[in-house]
Structure 1
Amino acid sequence: MRFKKPKISDVIFLVLVATLIIPQTRKPIQVFVNRGLSLISPSKVSDEKQENITSYTWKLKDVHGDVFSFEDAKGQVVLVNFWATWCPPCIAEMPSLQKLYNDYHDKVKFVFVSDEWFKDITPFLEKNKYTFKVYRSVSNYNNIFNVTGIPRTFLIDKTGKIVIDKTGAANWNSESVRNTLDELIKQ
């Protein structure tokens, strides 16, 4: 029996499939692809479709065990980001969120939320030199946010209206997001 010499395209295809099957190479490739997708800025929800947060009854806990009540964010501009360390789109958008946090953390309340344990979160933050605080939910947030996938980010104005509601990776350090934040801070 004679075998046909493989084409270069067949070899490339097999190498690509193999790299996507191996966990150590799959995640970096997915992050790389999502970084490209996250170059797009999130858009504002049209005024007539903006929903109001009706409840602020939500408790969160930080790595030190300190409890944060979402009620304390009432009346402020708030960015809430649901994410995980294992999530390639989350990882892809984190650098833009860190840059935004660097410039706005004293004017905007940033609430980064993960369901993971801090033993997994802390090394990820340290490795990537992220300085924002991360919380784990202590109480149910489904009465406030309907999160069915991550990353999911909400930008909320001082009156409790959801101005941006974005599922998937995005460029949070864009000029349009910064203009929106500046506008919301002035109100």
Structure 2
Amino acid sequence: MKPYFVLIFLLISLITYGQQQQIDFDSLVSARQKESIGKPFPLFKALLHNKTFTNQDITGKVVFINFWFANCPPCIAELDALNELYKKLKTNKQFEFVSFTYESPKTIQVLAKKYHMQYKIMSVTQQECYRLNQNNAFPTSIVLDKNGMIQFISFGGKTDKAAAKKMVLTEYYQQVLKQL
């Protein structure tokens, strides 16, 4: 009988300790975001329509970068809003919209047609996607200033299309405008 009391005492102690040591996830996310702000976007090389695309191709422009993959519900939920963001800014010569995914070029072609994606989408390896998005969750959205420095980063997203649209067309759009 005594071992049961000890076991119950240990369980109660662990539960009580766990409640006192709750993790503040918002603070963790904020800290990860702050780590990236002001740092240069990593060097990259990717193929875009059989042509090499690198950091040199976006130098001197404000750049919105989005990382996604097909089986990511929040990634798919924000595609319509990302299309709207692109349409609002595509005529601005100081702006570039770039998207990275580890989907195959064939899958990209199918999804780009299905979701009317008109911006640049580059296929890189999964490892490269994570390296470029700072090992964050998907989707990840980044805004670079004209010097290639990260000025904004957001990761994770909403699965509800209306909530995703609000986030993209208010928060992300405003971050781009701030750099233009």
Q: TM-score range by the shorter chain?
A: 0.5 to 0.7
Q: CA RMSD in A?
A: 2.6
Which stretch of structure 1 is more off in the superposition, 85-94 or 158-167?
158-167
Q: 1:61 — aligned with what? A: 47
The residue matched to 1:125 in structure 2 has which SS?
Answer: helix
- From 156, 160, 174, the equivalent of 1:179 is 174
Deviation, structure 1 residue 183: 2.7
- Structure 2 CA distance for aligned equivalents of residues 167 and 49 of structure 1: 12
Residue 149 of structure 2 aligns to which amino acid in structure 1? K
The residue matched to 1:173 in structure 2 has which SS?
Answer: helix
Q: Classify 1:89/1:163 alpha carbon distance in 2 versus 1 (closer, same or farther; 3 Å).
A: same
- Structure 2 unaligned regions, length at least 5: 1-32, 158-163
- Structure 1 CA distance for aligned equivalents of residues 117 and 60 of structure 2: 26
CA deviations over 1:96-117 (Å, ceiling 9, x no partner): 1110001112332111001010
Indicate whether 1:51 and 2:49 are aligned: no
Name whichever structure is richer in helix by fraction: 2
- Structure 1 unaligned regions, length at least 5: 1-44
- Structure 2 CA distance for aligned equivalents of residues 150 and 177 of structure 1: 15
Matches within 5 A, 1:105-124: 105-107=90-92, 108-124=95-111
Matches within 5 A, 1:25-174: 50-53=37-40, 55=42, 57-62=43-48, 64-107=49-92, 108-137=95-124, 140=128, 145-169=133-157, 170=164, 171-174=167-170
- Structure 1 CA distance for aligned equivalents of residues 41 and 72 of structure 2: 29
Question: Does the aligned pair in 1 maintain the 2:36–2:153 contact within 8 Å?
Answer: no
The TM-score, its normalising length taken from structure 1, stands at: 0.63
Deviation, structure 1 residue 79: 0.9
- Structure 2 CA distance for aligned equivalents of residues 173 and 183 of structure 1: 13
- Structure 2 CA distance for aligned equivalents of residues 157 and 78 of structure 1: 7
Q: Classify 1:92/1:145 alpha carbon distance in 2 versus 1 (closer, same or farther; 3 Å).
A: closer
Runs of 4+ in 1 over 6 A off after TM superposition: none
- Structure 2 CA distance for aligned equivalents of residues 180 and 154 of structure 1: 9
- Structure 2 CA distance for aligned equivalents of residues 114 and 75 of structure 1: 24
Identical columns (%)? 26
Residue 136 of structure 2 aligns to which amino acid in structure 1? T
Deviation, structure 1 residue 178: 3.1
Q: Classify 1:87/1:65 alpha carbon distance in 2 versus 1 (closer, same or farther; 3 Å).
A: same
The TM-score, its normalising length taken from structure 2, stands at: 0.65
Q: Classify 1:65/1:74 alpha carbon distance in 2 versus 1 (closer, same or farther; 3 Å).
A: same
Residue 154 of structure 2 aligns to which amino acid in structure 1? K
